[in-house]
Structure 1
Amino acid sequence: MNVHTEPLVILLVEDNPDHTELIIRALSDHQIPNRIIHVSDGEAALDYLWRRAQFADPATNPQPHVILLDLQLPRLNGLEVLQAIKSSVEMRHIPVVVVSTSHAEHDVSAAYRNYANSYLVKPVDFQQFTRMLHDLGDYWLGWNWPLRERLSPPMP
């Protein structure tokens, strides 16, 4: 597994407090340094990514290396957030992992049509959910090698 020397920044977009706590605990258990930033609605996720409002300072609100995105969110739903990210030249390189309770084919296909990098269904069983989160952490925090700087728009 790759050993990252500086913490990886994870943006967790999740409105369920129980799921949030479980995800943060599972990802914090890894031996890989990471910093989890949590927002609980779609509008706050876009504010964070575009450094608006309370997220304006890039020193305290760095660009994430990976985004964990629920679909059922208040204010803006997860698909709207995904569309905004993947339609932005500055943001589309950030991997977005949809983590949802829905296994409906229309949700899965909508996420992939909007360029989600992965789609995971939250298991109902606590042990399976924990195992899935550990596997997610192994891949996205360990094996995957993220882009470390903010991309500029492509040259004309």
Structure 2
Amino acid sequence: MADDSEDDRFLAREALRESRVLNDLHEVEDGEALMNYLKGHGEYSDPASAPRPGFILLDLNMPRKTGREALEEIKADSSLRRIPVVILTTSEDEIDVIQSYDLGVSSFITKPVSFEALVEVMKTIGRYWIEIVSLPSSDSD
């Protein structure tokens, strides 16, 4: 999960726990850290502590490198482009939705206001991306 809001990351973590989605959640604070994580640079050089994600929850509005910029970079990299990216943002702007899909996002979700609604969203995301869909393995690059 890449989101600059510590509160939003905390709520997402708690919502995943409450929804009983048991996969590990790795968190970064901005798009620059996300790209370092995905490429195994710096503090993310140990694959055991920074494994390749099954999918990415990405906020659009972050410092240093926006979610939009990170998405564009992910989809342009042949070793990363198959990782599904789900935008989870406060934006309801139609332009953000259009641009995100044009850049190759898998889903665009506006963050719900209440914690209960966030739990339901996380349940649905977890069920869909972890239990239902078939994803290519990381060694199929």
TM range (shorter): over 0.9
**Percent pairwise identity:** 35
Greater strand share, 1 or 2? 1
1:147–1:27 Cα change, 3 Å:
farther
* RMSD, aligned α-carbons: 1.5
The aligned counterpart of 2:138 is 149
The separation in 1 between residues aligned to 2:114 and 2:13, in whole angstroms, is: 17
The separation in 2 between residues aligned to 1:31 and 1:76, in whole angstroms, is: 31
In structure 2, the gaps of 5 or more residues are none
The separation in 1 between residues aligned to 2:63 and 2:134, in whole angstroms, is: 31
Q: Is structure 2 residue 2 aligned with structure 1 residue 37?
A: no
Greater helix share, 1 or 2? 2
User: Is contact 2:30-2:65 (8 Å) kept?
Assistant: yes
Query: Which aligned segments of 4 or more residues in structure 1 are displaced greater than 3 angstroms?
Result: 29-33
The separation in 2 between residues aligned to 1:31 and 1:19, in whole angstroms, is: 18
In structure 1, the gaps of 5 or more residues are 1-11
Greater mean deviation of Cα atoms: 122-131 or 53-62: 122-131
Report the TM-score, using the length of structure 2 for normalisation.
0.92
1:13–1:121 Cα change, 3 Å:
same
1:19-34 equivalences in 2 (<5 Å): 19-34=8-23
- Following TM superposition, by how much is the alpha carbon of 1:138 offset from its aligned partner in structure 2, in angstroms? 1.4
The separation in 2 between residues aligned to 1:79 and 1:19, in whole angstroms, is: 18
Report the TM-score, using the length of structure 1 for normalisation.
0.84
